Amino acid sequence: DGTPHFQVVAVSGNDTLAIKTLTLASTATLDPNDFTLPADGTPQRLVWDARTDLGAMYFPQGLVLTVSCVRVEPYQEATTTKPFEGGYANGGFIPFDLRRIPEVQLGSPTTIFADLGWFEGATRLEVFVNGTSVFSTTDENNDSFALDKEQLTIWGTNTLKLKSDNGIEQTAQIKYPDFVFTATQGNRDSIIVEWNSLDDVQAYSIRRRAANTADAFIEMALVSDTTRWADTSEETFIGEFEYTIMPLLAHNEEAGPQPAAVIGYRAQDIARPITISPTEHGTVTADKPTARYGETVTLTITPAEGYAFEQLTVLDGETDIPVSTPAEGTYTFTMPAADVVVSATFKAINYTVTTASVENGTLTADKQTAHYGDIVTLTITPATGYELDQLQVLDGETDIPVSTTAEGTCTFIMPAANVTVSATFKAINYTITTASAEHGTISPDKPTAHYGDLVTLIVTPAIGYEFDQLIVMDGEMAVDVVKIAEGTYTFTMPANDVAVSATFNALDYSITISRIAGSGSVRADKPMAHYGETIMLTVTPAEGYELGELHVIEGDMEVSVSHIEDDDYTFAMPAGNVVISAIFKVKTGVEDTPVTDITPRKVLRAGQVLILRGGKTYTLTGDEVQMEF
């Protein structure tokens, strides 16, 4: 009744975009707001050069093109004109960056639009469907590609990925129309397969194979006017089967990939498998590999060492099967009319690590609880002056081996039980080493001592020596020494071996020439001497005299004197001061003549000397008395 005039509108989100460069495939330029199409009934392809109009832009919300009829110009020869009721048609492509999941139109390709301009710097674009490459191009003008049923691999949602050679990626999703079918289980009369109807589908091919096999599916029925079919074949009395339905388009073309199968059966007394899922840290065993509907199945749960049972699940598909516990580690359930999957979880047991109270040190563990097989580290710290005597880790009455990893650190592997850790410490016997001392001795009251012990040292100088210095060394450190009494010292034992040493000084003893009786002299070669030194005495009688007596006195003791030769005499210096006296006598002897000294009265013999008050001496020589001052 007239010529329709069209308008093309481009919208992204809430924004209407300007369309300027709209042409037919024949390159004829069109007014995007008012144009007509050839009336020969052939499909027309409109081309919009969006790159020129909009530039290299990315539209996160996609792009929607609407072709609308805006008016109808009546034919000149028309006598009547039908009123225009309005209408529009959406563009037949889908932008790749999808904010919704579009559906595949069964029986026709689905065109996906992807502008290479979205990927600045890219020279190659590749499209993947569920991980499989289905399209690639290096042509920037190639802005779309078509997907058909062979490229979409699953009923349901397919994942698309657009990847450029500069590493940029985009993902989108597209799906087949929802197509769900079921097969009955346990219906004694038949296995009933039901499904939902799909648009544009001419018929449904119902296919079957034995369950849990890799056999090819065999078509059992081809239906077009129903969504329900019953399998009453004799085989279904004793077995279970997998069913799948393929929607068919015109000319019996399959609408898509083979849909996933469902299991159906009619006989409830089929022995169905009991599948035990792999478990960690324990085992699950069933008393039978298969069971019939209503049978009791017994499960035995055995945790691994160091683990405890946590949870048991028996599933018929996604349905939990109730489980009973008749005994520890034993569980039962009633077999449903379906396969079941049994799974269990186990949890590591937290065993306690108890450290006993200790004396003279500390004992700590790096954890208070541990799992079987964990490495537990112990830190042992003796108090000052103590050392570890014994470390014991007990699982009940069983000793657990302990390894030493470093000074003061030990480890053990946690058993499947609580443990008690204890330690004893013993006082260290530190040695007291006395250095060999010259001219004296050092005597400790003990050869070893513990930290804090009081050690007594007896220091004894040798004859002729006196104590000089006492040193007690702890390595490079001097230890304080206390004098208790003459020759007795004490110190407190440190937490180390000690070395004790002492020095002694030789005493200087005096040599005094005290009394010389008669005529002569005595001279010592030194005024002072040490014990043991040889002292040379030179004895010189006066003319006419000779040595009568020579005495070296140390206290009350006479010191032995040796005559060397002529006037030389020697003696060994004693450990004390000495006084030397000598008596000289005339060389000719006389008879004894009684002589009386008035004060005191004393009878002298010839040659005797009497020492009187005032240091005066009288010597009897013949018949006269000589007095010397």
Last residue of a domain, one of 506, 523, 550: 506
561 belongs to a structural domain: yes
Answer for the pair 150, 192: CB distance below 8 angstroms, yes or no.
no
Q: For 521-554, what is each residue's pLDDT tens digit? A: 999 999 999 999 999 999 999 988 998 899 999 9
pLDDT of the residue at 166? 84
Other Cβ atoms closer than 10 A to 134: 18
491: left (phi over 0), alpha (psi -120 to 50) or beta: beta
For the chain, what is the largest distance between any 2 Cα atoms, rounded to a whole number of angstroms?
A: 211
Domain CATH for 205: 2.60.40.10
pLDDT of the residue at 469? 93
Last residue of a domain, one of 69, 90, 111: 90
pLDDT of the residue at 115? 56
Last residue of a domain, one of 332, 348, 364: 348
Q: Give the list of residues 6+ apart from residue 114 with CB closer than 8 angstroms, or none.
A: 96, 125, 127, 143, 144, 145, 162
Q: Are residues 372 and 397 in the same domain?
A: yes
State the residue range of the domain holding 247.
181-265
What is the value of pTM for the model shown?
Answer: 0.45
DSSP letters spanning 93-130: -EESS-SS-PBP-TTS-EEEE--GGGSTT---EEEEET
Q: How many domains does the chain have?
A: 7
- Report the C-alpha gap between 538 and 293 in whole angstroms: 139
Q: Are residues 492 and 559 in the same domain?
A: no
Task: Name the burial class of residue 192, with classes exposed (0-12), middle (13-18) and buried (19+) by CB atoms within 10 angstroms of its CB.
Answer: middle
User: Per the structure block, which two tokens stand in for 414?
Assistant: 């946690």
599 belongs to a structural domain: no
Q: Are residues 17 and 84 in the same domain?
A: yes
56 belongs to a structural domain: yes
- Report the C-alpha gap between 163 and 573 in whole angstroms: 115
Q: Are residues 366 and 438 in the same domain?
A: no
Cross-strand bridge partners of residue 303: 282
Q: For 207-235, what is each residue's pLDDT tens digit? A: 999 998 999 999 999 999 899 999 988 88
611 belongs to a structural domain: no
613 belongs to a structural domain: no
Q: Give the list of residues 6+ apart from residue 328 with CB closer than 8 angstroms, or none.
A: none
Q: Are residues 555 and 539 in the same domain?
A: yes
Q: Give the list of residues 6+ apart from residue 262 with CB closer than 8 angstroms, or none.
A: 181, 182, 183, 242, 243, 244
- Report the C-alpha gap between 284 and 299 in whole angstroms: 7
Q: For 591-615, what is each residue's pLDDT tens digit? A: 444 444 433 434 444 445 454 444 4
Other Cβ atoms closer than 10 A to 145: 20
Cross-strand bridge partners of residue 172: 160
pLDDT of the residue at 539? 93
Q: Give the list of residues 6+ apart from residue 15 with CB closer than 8 angstroms, or none.
A: none
Q: Are residues 36 and 65 in the same domain?
A: yes
Q: Are residues 308 and 229 in the same domain?
A: no
250 belongs to a structural domain: yes
619 belongs to a structural domain: no
596 belongs to a structural domain: no
Q: Determine the distance from the C-alpha atom of residue 191 to the mean position of all C-alpha atoms in its chain, rounded to a whole number.
A: 60
Q: Are residues 155 and 169 in the same domain?
A: yes
Q: Are residues 186 and 218 in the same domain?
A: yes
pLDDT of the residue at 271? 81
Q: Are residues 10 and 83 in the same domain?
A: yes
pLDDT of the residue at 600? 42
Q: Are residues 230 and 307 in the same domain?
A: no
Instruction: Return averaged pLDDT per consecutive 10 residues of the chain, 629 residues in all.
Output: 82 84 80 85 80 76 79 64 48 54 76 62 86 85 73 85 85 87 85 92 95 93 94 83 93 90 81 91 95 91 94 93 91 90 95 94 95 95 93 94 91 95 94 92 95 96 92 94 95 95 94 87 93 93 90 92 92 94 80 41 46 47 46
Cross-strand bridge partners of residue 551: 581
Domain CATH for 575: 2.60.40
Q: Determine the distance from the C-alpha atom of residue 488 to the mean position of all C-alpha atoms in its chain, rounded to a whole number.
A: 58
Answer for the pair 58, 122: CB distance below 8 angstroms, yes or no.
no
Helix (H/G/I), strand (E/B), else coil: 164:
strand
3-state secondary structure 477-537: EECCCEEEECCEEEEECCCCCEEEEEEEEECCEEEEEEEEECCEEEEECCCEECCCCEEEE
Q: Are residues 119 and 104 in the same domain?
A: yes
